[in-house]
Amino acid sequence: MEYNELIKARHSVRKYSKKKVSPELLREILEAGRLAPTARNMQVQRILAVQSDEGIAKLNECSPCLFGATTVLVAAFDTRPMNGNYGRVDASIALTHMMLKAADLGLGTVWVGIFDHDELHEQFNIPEEYEIVSIMPVGYPAENSKPSAFHEDRLPLEDTVQFESY
C-alpha cells in the first residue's frame, strides 16, 4: 500500500479475531521497531512479545484492554543509560514503526495506556529499571471490527501547525 494511503487507513482496532499472528509476521513487525531511530543511537527500547495463552492470560490480569488479541507487545525502556531522558520517546517511536508495519501486513493494532505497571513488572519479571511505556495488542481485526466514529475527524493542518513568519 502506498504510504499516505496506509497512514489514512490505519486505525485503532478494538476487536480481534482468534487467528494467530505467525512468527514470520511478528518478526517483521519487531524488525521495524528495531530499525527505529533512537536518541544518540542508544537503543534503550525493550519489547516483550507475548503470544502464549499463558502470557495473554497474565496480561489480561494487567489490563482490561487487550480486545481479544492473540499477540501483545509490551514496550519499555531501560532507564539506566544516560540518554537525556529520551527513553519514553524512543520506545514510542519504535511502537509507531511497529504499528505501521503491522498495518502494512494487514494486521490491526491499538495503543493501550491503561494497565497496571506494577502487576506487569511482577507477572513478567520485568526488571525495575525498565519503565513500561505502553502495551499494543496486535492481530487480525474481527470481521465486525470497524474504526471509531471519530477516526476521520482531524483538525485542519492550520489548527495544529504554526508556520514561522519573518
Task: Say which CATH number the domain at 56 has.
Answer: 3.40.109.10
Is 166 domain-assigned?
no
pLDDT at 83: 61
Which residues span the domain enclosing 87? 3-160
Whole-number Å distance between alpha carbons of 49 and 34: 13
Exposure string for 46-70, b = 16+ CB within 10 A, e = fewer? bbbbbbeeebbebbeebbebbbbbb
Instruction: Dump pLDDT digits (tens) for 38-81.
Output: 999 999 999 999 999 999 999 999 999 999 999 999 999 999 98
User: Has residue 74 been placed in a domain?
Assistant: yes
pTM of the shown model: 0.91
Mean pLDDT (the chain) is 93
Q: How many domains does the chain have?
A: 1
